[in-house]
């Protein structure tokens, strides 16, 4: 009991540090939003990433697809069903667009 009374501030600082470290390392992840595709003949993950990554780094996209599908290598076969990250799109209101050459 005397030890706790003597070092209460040190114990509180250590407990607070541990709590903030734990909170800081915990990452809140959004649920993965994905769509399923069927691999066509000649498809590669690199080519799919080029078409579907929507500006995300291709190597990161491929790593995400491999993790989502529990793949040990980047080799895919025709007919495989793959989960790929779904591109988040915002609804677009067409009345905000003006086509080139439209004069007002």
Q: What is the pLDDT of residues 53-75, one digit of tens each?
A: 888 899 999 999 999 999 999 89
User: What does the chain look like in DSSP terms, one character per residue?
Assistant: -HHHHHTHHHHHHHHHHHHHHHHHH----PPPPEEEEEPPTT--HHHHHHHHSTTS-HHHHHHHHHHHTT-SSS---TT-EEEEEPPP-----GGG---TT---
Q: pLDDT band at 95, cuts 50/70/90?
A: low
Is the pLDDT reported for residue 104 higher than 60?
A: no
State the average pLDDT over residues 1-25.
Answer: 84
* Among the four given CATH numbers 3.65.10.10, 3.30.70.2700, 3.10.350.10, 2.90.10.10, the one describing domain 34-85: 3.10.350.10
Instruction: Please report, for the chain, the start and end positions of each structural domain, with discontinuous segments joined by +.
Output: 34-85
What's the pTM? 0.55
Q: pLDDT band at 46, cuts 50/70/90?
A: very high
């Amino acid at each position: 009991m005397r030890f706790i009374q003597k070092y209460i501030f040190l114990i509180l600082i250590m407990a607070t540090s541990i709590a903030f470290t734990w909170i800081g390392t915990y990452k809140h992840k959004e649920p993965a939003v994905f769509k399923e595709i069927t691999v066509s003949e000649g498809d590669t993950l690199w080519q799919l990433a080029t078409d579907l990554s929507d500006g995300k780094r291709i190597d990161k996209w491929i790593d995400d697809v491999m993790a989502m599908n529990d793949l040990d290598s980047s080799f895919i076969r025709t007919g495989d069903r793959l989960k790929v990250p779904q591109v988040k799109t915002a609804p677009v209101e067409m009345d905000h667009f003006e086509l080139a050459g439209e004069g007002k």
